[in-house]
Amino acid sequence: MPDNNRSFKAIFLLIILSLIWGTSFILIKQGLKVFAPTEVATLRVSAAFLFMLPVALTRLRGLTFQDYKTLLVSGLLGIFIPAFLFSTAQTKIDSSVAGVLNTLSPICTMIIGALFFGQRFRGWAILGTLIGLAGTVMLMLSRVGGSVTGINYYSLLIVAACLMYGSNLNWVKFRIHGLPALTITSVSILLIGPLALTYLLGFTNFTSKLGVVEGAWTSFGFVVLLGCMSTAVATYIFNALVKITTPLFASSVTYLMPIVSVGWGLLDGERLYAGHYVGMAAILSGVYLANRKKD
């Protein structure tokens, strides 16, 4: 693929991914109105599993035992464990703040890539990542009127999820070779799906809530949408993006997601302060600098 076409495709995928994943935090919040964090997490993965099952079954031919092992690791790091971490964290953290904290993923990607995958990053990449992170802090402070109220330790769960995402991003890029993005996505979900479905149906009160709790079916619909779009479709787009670009560029999606979260806040009647504009400008500048090519 010519460089110009590849760059255009990468930017297009990045924007679509930002829109989908930027909406996921609100969908989690809607699910938590009725279901427990473990129910939201397992329902999300189960929905993605059933959604991708027909595709996954057509992608098994030719896979080796080693392929299954690497795809299982990818499914656990990139989908299964973070689903539990985010749903648990959002019981104590606002959804928009969760989206902001998720911008730590590029930092985690750089650190893990340097420590375990022999990656080296240019000065522009480091500077851009730090500027983007500063923009994230500005957005976070703006959402609470510019004041700091103390550390919410549930935020550490999101930090852990970001470490998982950073690990999986490098894993897909440097350990899974020769497999199409659709195969990586569908088979990794196929491998973790039965775990989620078994837990959901055997160890939770999920089915009883559907029958007696008001609004349960609405919350159910939001989480199913979360699983199909934010887990299945978005993971495929993400893996496709990783295949045609660098881990750092792909992880830049987490810098654009807070802008989507702020947009949802506006639609929900929230005010937009000057700090939001400064933060979003810093985020976009950071994404540009982090992926700036050498002159």
Compute the average pLDDT of residues 164-185: 90
Of residues 265 and 214, more confidently modeled: 214
Rounded CA separation 241/249 (Å): 9
Global pTM?
0.84
pLDDT class of 295 with cuts at 50, 70, 90: very low
* Cβ 45 vs Cβ 83: under 8 Å: yes
Compute the average pLDDT of residues 89-108: 81
Q: Tally Cβ neighbours within 10 Å of residue 231.
A: 28
Rounded CA separation 110/112 (Å): 6
Q: What value, to the nearest 5°, has the Cα angle with vertex 157 and ends 166 and 201?
A: 100
State the chain's mean pLDDT as an integer: 85
> 92 φ, ψ to 5°?
-125, -5
Best CA proximity match to 78, nearest among 47, 45, 116, 39 = 45
- Top mean-pLDDT range of 37-51, 243-257, 276-290: 37-51
Q: What tens digit of pLDDT does each residue of 33-82 get?
A: 999 999 999 999 999 999 999 999 999 999 999 999 999 999 999 999 99
Task: Please report the sign of the dihedral spanned by the C-alpha atoms of residue 82, residue 85, residue 91, residue 93.
Answer: negative
Single-letter residue type at 135: G
Compute the average pLDDT of residues 162-181: 89
Half-sphere exposure (Cβ direction) of 222: Cα atoms closer than 13 Å: 20
Rounded CA separation 229/20 (Å): 7
* Cβ 82 vs Cβ 161: under 8 Å: yes
Q: 15-24, 57-66, 123-132, 190-199: which range is least confident on average?
A: 123-132
pLDDT above 90 as % of the chain: 45
